[in-house]
Amino acid sequence: MNPNQPHSLRLQPGADAPDFTLSDAAGRLVSLADYRGRSVIVYFYPKAATPGCTTEACDFRDNLASLQRQGYDVLGISPDAPGTLAEFSDDFTLTYPLLADEDHAVAMAYGAWGEKLLGGQVVEGVIRSTVVVDPQGKVTLAQYHVDATGHVAALREELATPALPAR
């Protein structure tokens, strides 16, 4: 990895979640502020309709009702254009907003952009990441380099576990 390569800083619990406004698959603007008063899971994925991203997206779709019963909304963010997101959403009947971060500025702000290994090569791009934001807009959980398979089950388990009181 190149130490001179600019990369984004990872978010930590307790930090303010960076505000954003992005276009969804239908071209409507969606802001993090729209979710103030609710908890939201913001997950970043590299590319619509690729195997890992499809697995993760469908896993969030299949667990959405359970997550919503726990009080969480879900937003998926990738550098894909709205039209690509619309096809992806339609092809896999995704029932939560997918947002287009074409210039990857939001991924950078969330620490989800940087160098990663892909096929044995170091490339710059979206790092599969999940950030949970509380109703006041604070980060409660930030996970980076997550695996697409099994991630939602592990996340659900972690979210169901009450936090230990601070000592």
6 falls within a domain: no
2 falls within a domain: no
Residue 116 neighbours by CB under 8 Å, 6+ apart: 122, 123, 124, 125, 127, 145
Q: What share of the chain is helix, strand, coil (3-state, %, to 5)?
A: 30, 30, 45
pLDDT over 50 at 14, yes or no: yes
Give percent of the chain above pLDDT 90.
83
What's the pLDDT tens digit per position in 103-147?
A: 999 999 999 999 888 788 888 999 999 999 999 999 999 999 999
What's the pLDDT tens digit per position in 143-158?
A: 999 999 999 999 998 9
Which pLDDT band holds residue 18 (cuts at 50, 70, 90)? very high
What was the pLDDT predicted at 7?
A: 52
Instruction: State how many domains the chain has.
Output: 1
Radius of gyration of the chain from its Cα atoms, rounded to whole angstroms: 15
Is residue 108 helix, strand or coil?
helix
Residue 136 CB neighbour total at 10 angstroms? 11
Query: Given the DSSP bridges, would you call strands 139-144 and 129-133 parallel, antiparallel or unpaired?
Result: antiparallel
Residue 46 CB neighbour total at 10 angstroms? 20
What's the pLDDT tens digit per position in 25-43?
A: 999 999 999 999 999 999 9
Query: Which of 53, 86, 106, 132 is the catalytic position?
Result: 53
58 is catalytic: no
State the residue range of the domain holding 115: 21-160
Locus of tokens 């996340």: 155
156 falls within a domain: yes
11 falls within a domain: no
123: domain CATH number? 3.40.30.10
93 falls within a domain: yes
